Amino acid sequence: MIYLILAISCSVLIANLIRMSQEKNARLFPTIAINYGIALIISYYLWDGEIKCHDIDIFLGFLNGILFFSGFICYFGALKSAGIATSVSIMRLAIAIPIIFGFFYFKDLLSLNRVIGIGMTFSALFLLSKFALKTHELRAFIWLGGLFATCGFADVINKFMNVYGHNKGVYLISIYGFSLLFSSIYLIIKREFPNLKEFIFGIFLGIPNQLTTLFTLMALKNIDSIVVFPTIGLGVLLGSVASDIIIWKESIDIEKWIAFIMASIAIILLNTA
């Protein structure tokens, strides 16, 4: 249970650190680059298996590197425009994309729970999107849509890795390596280089970014996935709502509470067989 709590805490911490970096005017791309550099180093040193390269692992890592890089940009924009709770809700609901994709491409069976969960996902998305358009600029809606798409299709790539891949160590190193590469290319072109503030935020983002994956894997060693994933999804959402209220002093109206409750139920249903 301790690893579940740690995984949830790291995920909530990441969102709050990003929000804090925005409050301190840390630039986006230098912070992202340091974050992925730290995650790459940790991935390399924590992997205790054989580092044997296969083209498919590197190619899938490349694709997810693009999605991770793009997703982090959308996450920064969504957090700034729509707050932590709404952004995290969108991220967690994105699991509907690989479930639907798996049904059509891999011929995975859809249980009644997941069918209901998909329906509730789109209902919650409608309410959250309506709230974003009503309360924020159109930019918030675009950031949230990009976040939903990048997170969902990143999980689709993970599904392909589980089916066709060979070495998860190479895959993870490729993801963070290519994400770092894309970030670095942008920095070189724009001549933006990290200052001390961005370096510190990047380090503090990179550590929980990687540890979230590690703690989730450790939790799965002792607890069934049917318990782990709904618990993490629900825990992160509740922690994010609490962060918005307690730390960032945001008010949440009835309509938004309904959306969060629907999102919580949908997360549980989507993660159960």
| Measured distance CA(16)–CA(210) in Å, rounded | 16
**pLDDT tens by residue, 46-98:** 776 666 788 999 999 999 999 999 999 999 999 988 889 999 999 999 999 99
Residue 134 pLDDT level (bands cut at 50, 70, 90): low
Query: Please, which residues have CB within 8 angstroms of residue 84's CB and are 6 or more apart in sequence?
Result: 15, 16, 19, 240, 243, 244, 248
Radius of gyration in angstroms for the set of CA atoms belonging to the chain, rounded to a whole number? 18
Rounded to two decimals, what is the model's pTM?
Answer: 0.90
- The per-residue pLDDT of the chain, averaged, comes to 89
Average pLDDT rounded to a whole number, residues 6-27: 94
Residue 189 has pLDDT above 90, yes or no: yes
Q: Return the higher-pLDDT residue of 105 and 132.
A: 105
| Measured distance CA(152)–CA(99) in Å, rounded | 9
**pLDDT tens by residue, 20-50:** 999 999 999 999 999 999 999 988 887 766 6
| Measured distance CA(171)–CA(47) in Å, rounded | 11
Residue 154 has pLDDT above 70, yes or no: yes
Q: What tokens does 37 get?
A: 């550099």
Q: What tokens does 263 get?
A: 């999102």
Which among 210, 181, 142, 228 is positioned nearest to 58, based on CA atoms? 181
Q: What angle do CA 247, 86, 243 make, to 5 degrees?
A: 15
The domain segmentation of the chain, as residue ranges, is 2-270
